């Protein structure tokens, strides 16, 4: 069971409640050539590592890539994969 925690930030003349479950984390995807050189990179935010993996896979087109959060590698994908756009088109009959 995950316990939900709320934090109260006291700002002069203002109180803000922040639900920690809604904080976004910053991630970076590195798109790689087969020899390992970076061809492209993009930064985005996601709720957690699992959500970041889904977003990264949806945003890339089948090339090798790595997903990072700060200095920690979350995941990597190597080799040919169908792009999610192709998978969506095939699942919709087109």
Q: What is the pLDDT of residue 90?
A: 47
Q: Which stretches of the chain score pLDDT less than 70?
A: 1-22, 61, 80-94
pLDDT tens readout for residues 32-59: 988 889 998 989 999 999 999 998 888 7
Instruction: Tell me the C-alpha to C-alpha distance, in Å, between residue 80 and each of 25, 62, 72, 73.
Output: 28, 6, 24, 20
Q: What is the pLDDT of residue 81?
A: 57
Q: What is the pLDDT of residue 88?
A: 47
Q: What is the pLDDT of residue 5?
A: 52
Domain ranges of the chain: 24-91
pLDDT over 90 for what percent of the chain?
34
Q: What is the pLDDT of residue 18?
A: 53
Q: Within 10 A of 50 (CB to CB), how many other CB atoms are there?
A: 11
């Amino acid at each position: 069971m995950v316990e939900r925690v709320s934090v109260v930030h006291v700002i002069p003349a203002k109180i803000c409640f922040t639900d920690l479950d809604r904080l976004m984390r910053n991630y970076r995807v590195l798109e790689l050539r087969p020899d390992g050189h970076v061809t492209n990179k993009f930064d985005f935010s996601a709720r957690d590592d699992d959500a970041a993996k889904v977003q990264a896979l949806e945003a890339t087109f089948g090339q090798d890539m790595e997903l990072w959060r700060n200095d920690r590698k979350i995941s990597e994908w190597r080799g040919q994969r169908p792009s999610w756009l192709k998978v969506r088109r095939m699942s919709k009959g087109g």
